[in-house]
Amino acid sequence: MLYPSVDKLKTKIDSKYSLVSLASKRARQMQEYEGTEQLEVYRSHKYVGKALEEVIEGALTQKAQDASTIYEDEI
């Protein structure tokens, strides 16, 4: 993967784990619901590449997590 570079992505999201998690969830969302693209033009043809482009452009950001939030896999 040449674009966007990992170094540039790390300026937007501080953790590689968080970046992978965010991009994979967004890629799955784009795959399941066609027409949910947030940018007008993408360089990438694949969903993960498109999700990473959204991160670099600031259209996709990480939500702050509340420590009191209980997730389904924790029950």
Q: Is the pLDDT confidence value at 1 over 80?
A: no
Over residues 12-66, the pLDDT tens digits come to 888 888 899 899 999 999 999 888 888 889 898 899 999 999 999 888 887 776 6
**C-beta of residue 38 within 8 angstroms of C-beta of residue 29:** no
With beta carbons less than 8 A apart as the criterion, state whether 20 and 28 touch.
no
Tokens 């694949």 map to which residue?
A: 46
Q: What is the pTM of this model?
A: 0.76
Distance of CA 34 to the CA centre of its chain: 16
- Write out the DSSP string of 9-46: HHHHSS-HHHHHHHHHHHHHHHHHSTT---SS--S-SS
CA–CA distance, 3 with 32 (Å, rounded to integer) = 24
